[in-house]
Amino acid sequence: METRTIGSLEVSVVGLGCNNFGWRIDADATAKVVDAALQDGINFFDTADIYGATKSEEFLGKALGRRRDQVVIATKFGGKVDEQRKGAKPAYVRSAAEDSLRRLGTDRIDLYQLHMPDPDVPIEDTLGALDELVRAGKVREIGGSNFSIDQLRSAQAAARHGARFVSLQNEYSLLHRDPERDVIPECKRLKIAFLPYFPLASGLLTGKYRRGQPAPDGSRIGTGGHFAGMLSDQNLATVESLVAFAESRGHTLLELAISWLLSRPAVSSVIAGATTPQQVKANAAAAGWRLGPKDLAEIDAIVPGP
């Protein structure tokens, strides 16, 4: 599989999002998914301390075992684990890192990301603690997630001579193109890797949701709640147009969703979740379509950018 860089890290252009570990799948199923990822050339694994109520990191570490040195592990802190463990105060940054290292069973985190800005803590304080972790060899590179352009600029200005963000992970897909307005151009200007999450719009861009048909049993969108609103007539109509575009060229919607993201400026790796080895294999194989200018113009006509 093709690789690109995130700071000093070399990563596969398709990464494995580990948010399902410990929530939708157990340790045994996680091991099968991780094995499939490695077999298909994926070396980039993205997790967080809050995924699976901390089980995701634990399951990932156990699944990798002695193969840890073959991969790049990204994790996150700052989300609410419980009432005591949350936020981005320097003391908590240090303790959260130690907790993640222990759960992952490793001596360093390759990419340590602030899961979301903490409005109660100056970013320079958080960056100072992260810089200490980098200098101690416990973290190799640092990044942010869910940052606006102003928050990203503030973080880069506050870094001064210490460790600075080499990546930004925000939601981005064919159905959510807002980052193109300002964040992605800023990442390109600052030479920061952009990492899309929800690249398949929580499954909507896999093609398994169609107008007039019920959502598949057990699917994320089918469970309702936060994701239910995605099954709008407008979204489903757009999906049908994208399916027709892809199939007319001998490709699937999944291949279109991932290859399109990899054609975008600043994108280094597309983080796609999976609950089965078959999904991993499909995601890994989807990155090979090289979209030309005419293709991209036709896609813009179906789903205009901001």
Q: What is the CATH number of the domain that holds 283?
A: 3.20.20.100
pLDDT surpasses 90 at 255: yes
Amino acid 235: pLDDT = 87
- Out of 112-121, 150-159, 220-229, 289-298, least confident range: 220-229
Active-site residue flag, 197: no
Closest CA to 45 of 24, 21, 23: 21
Closest CA to 276 of 50, 84, 25: 25
Amino acid 91: pLDDT = 98
pLDDT surpasses 90 at 223: no
The structural domain count of the chain equals: 1
- Provide the domain limits for residue 214: 3-302
Share of residues in the chain with pLDDT > 70 (%): 94
User: Which DSSP symbol is given to 21?
Assistant: B
Overall pTM > 0.75: yes
pLDDT surpasses 60 at 196: yes
Catalytically annotated residue among 51, 92, 172, 197: 51
Q: How many Å apart are CA 20 and CA 198, to the nearest integer?
A: 12
Strand, helix or coil for residue 176: strand
pLDDT surpasses 90 at 225: no
* Residue pLDDT, tens place only, 30-39: 999 999 999 9
Q: How many Å apart are CA 286 and CA 69, to the nearest integer?
A: 26
**Strands of the 109-114 sheet, one edge to the other:** 193-197, 165-171, 139-145, 109-114, 72-77, 44-46, 14-17, 270-273
